[in-house]
Structures are given as C-alpha cells and as structure tokens.
Amino acid sequence: MILTVLATLLLLLPAAFGGKLSRLAEVEIAGRHWLLLGLLLQVVAIGLGSRVPREVAAGLHISSYLVLGAVIWANRALPGVPLIGLGGLGNGLTIAVNGGTLPASAEAMAMAGLRNEGDGFSNSAPLAEPRLWFLGDVFAIPAPIPLANVFSVGDVLILAGVALASARICGPARSGSGSRS
C-alpha cells in the first residue's frame, strides 16, 4: 500500500514544478496487458493470503515477478525503467529464493507496528532462515507515521525509478532543447 501511495505522489510531483502530467498518457508502454496481468497476480496472491494453500499464493506471487520482469525488459529504453527493473529484480529474486515471501526484519516490523499474521501466506514476513535477507524488508516507516510499513532496498530503487521516469517524462520543457512543451 505504502509503495503505491509513494509512487503515485512521485508521479504527480513534477506538476508542482511546471511539468505536464498529460505527457504520461503519451508514453507507449509495450505489453500493457501483461503489466496489468502481473499486477493482478500480485493483488490476487496477497489478497487471497491464507484462503488458498500457501503454495498457490506463493506461486502466483513469484509468477507476478516473472510477468512484470518481461514487461520491464520490453520497456527498458524508457526513462527510469532500468532502475525500476533493478529494484524489481532484487525483490523478485529474494522472493523466489525464499519460497514466495520477501523476508522481513522482525525489528523493522515491530518498529512499524506490524505483526506476523499466522501460518498462511504472507508476501513479507520474518523467516527462520532467510536467504538474501539484506534485500528483504529491513527498513521501516515507524508506527506513529501514517501508512507505517516495512520496505526493502528494491522498493527504494523502484520509487527512485518512478521519480526519474516522472521527472524525465513530465518535466518542464527546456527552451532550445527541442523538447515538447
């Protein structure tokens, strides 16, 4: 949730500095239907959580990263997309080697006021023996702050990529540079 809110704010930020959000609509995204499928797979995996066997939810979660990775690759020439891809690769690889769950630091979860909700599937949770733990959700937005949550290095890279893409696509045209206005 917090990643989505922050990404949306970063997309809108250039408008506060004279950028034109309408330029986002002009961007040709290869594989838009696959992008929607990848996002839907994540929503379903996370939303179903403990209502389906853990293996099913974990498989959907890992599959979403494979689909989204293909979309990233197809759009790698767009501004910010390589950075988004690097963040997604870090998260996706860590999720894959940990059976579908991004390992979370128990300390970070406590700081964010989060609890592990049982034995069912969780997209992010403390694990007994996490692999690539340092790429997991090891940072926290503390509980007193609205939308407190844990986040990873990959999440930071994804947000940086979104900010870069938004600034480059929506940013104000430079006079004499041949940019559109």
Of 10-24, 102-116, 119-133, 147-161, which range is least confident? 10-24
Q: Determine what percent of the chain is predicted with pLDDT higher than 70.
A: 94
Query: Any idea how long the chain is?
Result: 181
In sequence order, the 6+-apart residues with CB closer than 8 A to the CB of 62 are 92, 95, 96, 100
Note the pLDDT of residue 18.
86
Q: Are 138 and 112 in contact (CB under 8 A)?
A: no
> Is residue 78 over pLDDT 90?
yes
Report DSSP letters for 39-105, one per residue.
Answer: HHHHHHHHHHGGGS-HHHHHHHHHHHHHHHHHHHHHTTTSTTHHHHHHHHHHHHHHHHHTTT-EEB-
So what's the pLDDT on residue 1?
65
Residue 153 pLDDT greater than 60, yes or no = yes
What's the confidence (pLDDT) of residue 173? 58
Q: What is the pLDDT of residues 26-75, one digit of tens each?
A: 999 999 999 999 999 999 998 887 788 889 999 999 999 999 999 999 99
Task: Provide the whole-model pTM.
Answer: 0.88
Dist. CA 74–CA 105, nearest whole Å = 33
C-beta pairs of 101-106 under 8 Å, 24+ apart in sequence: 101/58, 101/61, 101/125, 101/127, 102/136, 102/137, 102/152, 103/127, 103/130, 103/131, 103/132, 103/133, 103/136, 103/137, 104/136, 104/137, 104/138, 104/150, 105/133, 105/136, 105/137, 105/138, 105/140, 105/150
For the cut 90, the answer to whether the pLDDT of residue 132 exceeds it is: yes
Mean pLDDT across 10-21: 85
